Amino acid sequence: MNIVIDKDTSLYLFFNNQYRVINHRDKRIDSTFSYRDDTVNVKHILASYSPIVIKNRIYFIEEEGGGVYEFKERKFDRIDFSFTHKMQVASTIFIHSDTIFRYGGYGFFSSRDFFTYFDFKIREWEAYAPINSDKIPVGSSDNFKTISNNTICLFGGKFNNPKWRKEFVPMKEVWEFNFLDHQWTNLGAIDVNQLSIHPIQFKDKLAMVYRLSLEVIDNKNNKISFYKGNSYISRLKFAPIPLYFDGKFYFVSALGESNQDDLCELPESEFLGDFTADKKFYRNNSAYLWILYTLIFLGLVAVMFYWKSYFQLRNKRLKLLMIKGNHIHYQNKRVEFDPLSIKVIMVLLIARDKGVSGTELLVITERKDLHNSHNIRERNNLLNVINFRIKTLLETEEDIITSEKSEHDQRVKIYMLRHELFLQD
């Protein structure tokens, strides 16, 4: 059995051998009709096709292929030139701008990732391109949907494991397609365990029966609301799926001890029952984007700090003397010194402001084959050469190595190097 409600006043109940028309606005006046065409397998259509209404015209869309029937004048007329291709099994069928659309669906070890629509002029299905989308959802089937104005939101369902095509993986992402912009947007991710079966589309929301309660998914406001439901829930049947129209839910319920089916209607508030709580529907990608942008910002700050430190150090190096091996570098120039001169310079650098006595330097520079007075002259000459060569490198007249008398012994000279001119670790 199928339930269809047109946009006027009539509610249709389709059975294998007959159908009933109910005026739901005029105390449910009931009429029963038989089908006029015995050549059509009505049982197959009701079991394998999904009913939809466009401008008060009733259509049945094949769930495993491209078949389209229009129900009019008490019979089913085939209006398409398609066939049962089984490439869009469990696709999402819906109406947008008085056009029949379907998304996704499974067939031959893969799932579709695109929309198709039925072109009434050529009576064939055509592809609908998301021309402004850089990213699109992975192909899937058995999706849930909510529809609002010019957007459709798809979530749940399953897709094929690309490494093992026979395996299905639960779809966790929530995607929204805007028909005006022709663009997909990834809204976030959900916990698939929060989804139940038997979705009931109403307004721009989706109601789901979970045990003896109801969950209402409000994608627009990103929340799930929980309701207690009423006693009818235990007797609610989902073949056909309940319908919502003009503030009321229409559904089939098994009533009484005979367990016979009965068509029921309830206002929205009575059908849902008492509100209990709500929570976020999906984890918003904006939170992850904020974290990502923060990390990128911190990364850029770190890079900027690194380069700033690098250039500061580089500029510092360019302004200071740097000892590398037996060479002293300054900017793009370098001067080679003998090992003894480098050793003297290093001793003076280490001593810093304390300086080094002439006697200590003499220990470093003296030669055993020379007289003491000769060694003193050689020491002084070495210091003068070092001084001259570094002054020339720096292009300055100021001495690099200076001397003064010791505070403790006026006979002793203390030699000091201007260590601030050297780069030191």
What DSSP letter does each residue of 275-314 carry, written as one string? EEEEEESSEEHHHHHHHHHHHHHHHHHHHHHHHHHHHHHH
Apex 146 CA angle, 212 and 137, nearest 5 = 115
pLDDT of residue 8: 62
Which two three-digit tokens encode residue 91? 């696709």
CA distance 397 to 313: 26
List phi, psi (to 5°) of 175.
-120, 145
Cβ-based burial of 214 (10 A; exposed 0-12, middle 13-18, buried ≥19): buried
For the chain, 425 residues long, give each residue's pLDDT as a single digit of tens.
677 766 566 788 888 888 888 877 665 667 888 998 888 999 999 999 999 999 889 999 999 999 999 999 999 999 999 999 999 999 999 999 999 999 999 999 999 999 999 999 999 999 998 888 888 999 999 999 999 889 999 998 999 998 898 899 999 999 999 999 999 999 998 876 667 667 888 889 998 887 778 889 998 899 999 998 777 777 776 667 788 888 888 887 765 444 456 678 888 888 888 999 999 888 876 656 677 778 888 888 888 888 877 666 666 666 788 889 999 998 888 899 999 999 999 999 999 888 999 889 999 999 888 898 899 999 999 999 999 999 999 888 898 999 999 888 888 899 999 988 888 76
CATH of domain 320-421: 1.10.10.10
The answer to whether the peptide bond before residue 240 is cis (omega within 30 degrees of 0) is yes
CA distance 66 to 101: 11
Which two three-digit tokens encode residue 325? 């091996």
Cβ-based burial of 375 (10 A; exposed 0-12, middle 13-18, buried ≥19): middle
Which two three-digit tokens encode residue 407? 């505070």
CB 262 within 8 A of CB 252: yes
CATH of domain 2-191+199-209+236-270: 2.120.10
Cβ-based burial of 217 (10 A; exposed 0-12, middle 13-18, buried ≥19): buried
Residue 79: how many CB atoms within 10 A of its CB? 14
Packing angle of the helix pair 339-351, 358-365 (nearest 10 deg): 150
Which two three-digit tokens encode residue 320? 């200071």
CB 141 within 8 A of CB 158: yes
CA distance 173 to 189: 4
Amino acid at 414: I
Which two three-digit tokens encode residue 185? 């947007």
CB 174 within 8 A of CB 145: no
Residues shown for the chain:
425
Residue 205: how many CB atoms within 10 A of its CB? 19
CA distance 391 to 393: 5
List phi, psi (to 5°) of 359.
-65, -40
Q: Which helix (H) or strand (E) holds 53?
A: strand 49-54
Strands 213-218, 205-210: pairing kind: antiparallel
Query: Would you give the DSSP letter of residue 421?
Result: G
Cβ-based burial of 257 (10 A; exposed 0-12, middle 13-18, buried ≥19): exposed
Domain ranges of the chain: 2-191+199-209+236-270, 320-421
pTM for this prediction: 0.65
CA distance 364 to 348: 12
pLDDT of residue 242: 83
Strand partners, 100: 95
CA distance 139 to 146: 18
